């Protein structure tokens, strides 16, 4: 593969594709469902498409939302998923592509974000300045007061006991524990990305001003890591909550949370991409980071061991979706032209 060996030294080769298919339009989201058997995707024409990972064949294709799919989240048991788009309702689906129910977002014109709790509990949806949380059976569990501006991201605590939302003005956290108060972590800037650490101790956010903020929830202390040339739209924690990977450059920057304050330590810098990094995902089973970029390249890294990529592969356009198989048996990526690829990494 031309150019790959120049960024993947030590004789490492191109990732082996199990399949590579064309879904026909911009891929806005891709997640693994059905106990690792299915990849569900959201597409720019408003369709949802289910792809069987064993064969690369379509299990279903349904028109879900007019104007494009904006978000997608899979239930923890893997048998259902929820999507949102440019209409006032989110929608819940089975992995056969059957509509289960609609989840109204309220008075806003569209639901922009969805997040299914890691436990079997609530489904958070963000529409305009409000967050609603629904049960899987369609019961409204929470409707928040309007926040300062349009919600720009959602994330659940790993145990499902709280949900966080970001907007211009900071982070809002609503707990699902009796008598626990809501929290507001104030920020002067407009926040654009959100990642809650797996150990629930830190919330990290990318800001419109090209900085990364993180709050230690035990104290509420806000620390800032600035100096990025572009907005950090992609953030990813490793499974041990030790490393936070951030975009905002052609270089991937990783901050170490094992010892001193990360802002006071030298970060790990992973350099090989030729354009802005757009997607970051750590494997759920191993300390392997996947990065995708506008340069069409997907790279794999072992940042605990080295700062060079270990393997990689190209798609045809900017990488717009990136997700791991839950057992580290493969990696799925989608691009802006509609190409979807599943690579073997085992």
On whether the CB atoms of residues 296 and 274 are closer than 8 A, the answer is no
184 in any annotated domain: no
DSSP-assigned letter for residue 36: G
Whose structure tokens read 């064969």? Answer: 55
Task: State the Rg of the chain over Cα.
Answer: 19
| Closest to 265 measured CA to CA, from 274, 273, 256 | 256
pLDDT confidence of 189, banded at 50, 70, 90? confident
37 in any annotated domain: no
pLDDT at position 263, please?
63
CATH code (residue 256): 2.130.10.10
Tally of domains in the chain: 1
Joined tokens for residue 260: 């001193």
pLDDT at position 131, please?
97
Q: What angle do CA 87, 125, 117 make, to 5 degrees?
A: 145
Give the mean pLDDT of 31-49: 97
**Strand order in 311-314's β-sheet?**
277-282, 289-293, 297-301, 311-314
| Closest to 93 measured CA to CA, from 75, 110, 76, 106 | 75
Torsion angle in degrees (nearest 10) through CA of 238, 230, 27, 56: -40
208 in any annotated domain: no
| Closest to 287 measured CA to CA, from 200, 204, 159, 198 | 198
243 in any annotated domain: yes
Q: How far apart are the first and last CA of the chain?
A: 20
Inform me whether the pLDDT recorded for 32 exceeds 60: yes
With 0-12 / 13-18 / 19 or more C-beta atoms within 10 angstroms meaning exposed / middle / buried, residue 134 is: buried
CA 192, CA 213: separation in Å to the nearest integer? 11
Inform me whether the pLDDT recorded for 17 exceeds 90: yes
323 in any annotated domain: yes
Number of CB atoms found within 10 A of residue 302's CB: 14
- Give the model confidence (pLDDT) of 132-148 as tens digits: 999 999 999 999 999 99
CA 248, CA 232: separation in Å to the nearest integer? 4
- Give the model confidence (pLDDT) of 148-165 as tens digits: 999 999 999 999 999 999
- Coil/strand/helix, residue 34: helix
Inform me whether the pLDDT recorded for 262 exceeds 90: no
Domain range enclosing 333: 228-346
| Closest to 87 measured CA to CA, from 114, 108, 113, 101 | 108
DSSP-assigned letter for residue 176: -
pTM higher than 0.85: yes
146 in any annotated domain: no
On whether the CB atoms of residues 203 and 215 are closer than 8 A, the answer is yes
CA 173, CA 161: separation in Å to the nearest integer? 10
252 in any annotated domain: yes
CA 80, CA 124: separation in Å to the nearest integer? 15
pLDDT at position 225, please?
86
214 in any annotated domain: no
pLDDT confidence of 259, banded at 50, 70, 90? confident
């Amino acid at each position: 593969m031309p150019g790959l060996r120049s960024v993947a030294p030590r004789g490492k080769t191109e990732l082996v594709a199990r399949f590579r298919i064309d879904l026909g339009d911009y891929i806005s989201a891709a997640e693994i469902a059905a106990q690792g058997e299915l990849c569900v995707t959201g597409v720019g024409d408003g369709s949802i498409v289910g792809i069987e990972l064993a064969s690369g064949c379509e299990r279903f294709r349904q028109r879900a939302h007019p104007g494009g799919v904006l978000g997608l989240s899979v239930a923890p048991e893997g048998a259902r998923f929820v999507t949102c788009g440019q209409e006032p309702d989110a929608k819940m689906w089975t992995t056969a592509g059957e509509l289960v129910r609609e989840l109204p977002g309220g008075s806003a014109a569209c639901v922009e974000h969805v997040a299914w709790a890691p436990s079997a509990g609530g489904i958070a949806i963000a529409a305009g300045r409000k967050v609603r949380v629904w049960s899987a059976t369609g019961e409204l569990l929470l409707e928040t007061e309007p926040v300062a501006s349009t919600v720009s991201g959602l994330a659940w605590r790993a145990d499902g006991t709280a949900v966080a939302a970001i907007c211009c003005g900071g982070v809002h956290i609503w707990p699902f524990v009796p008598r626990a108060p809501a929290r507001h972590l104030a920020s002067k800037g407009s926040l654009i990305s959100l990642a809650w650490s797996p150990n629930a101790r830190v919330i990290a956010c990318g800001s419109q001003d090209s900085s990364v903020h993180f709050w230690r929830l035990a104290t509420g202390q806000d620390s800032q890591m600035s100096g990025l040339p572009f907005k950090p739209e992609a953030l990813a924690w490793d499974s041990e909550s030790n490393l936070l990977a951030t975009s905002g450059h052609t270089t991937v920057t990783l901050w170490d949370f094992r010892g001193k304050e990360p802002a006071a330590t030298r970060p790990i810098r992973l350099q090989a991409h030729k354009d802005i990094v757009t997607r970051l995902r750590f494997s759920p089973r191993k300390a392997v980071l996947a990065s995708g970029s506008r340069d069409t390249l997907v790279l794999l890294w072992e940042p605990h061991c080295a700062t060079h990529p270990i393997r990689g592969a190209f798609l045809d356009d900017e990488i717009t979706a990136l997700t791991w198989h839950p057992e580290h048996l493969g990696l799925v990526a989608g691009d802006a032209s509609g190409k979807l690829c599943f690579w073997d990494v085992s």
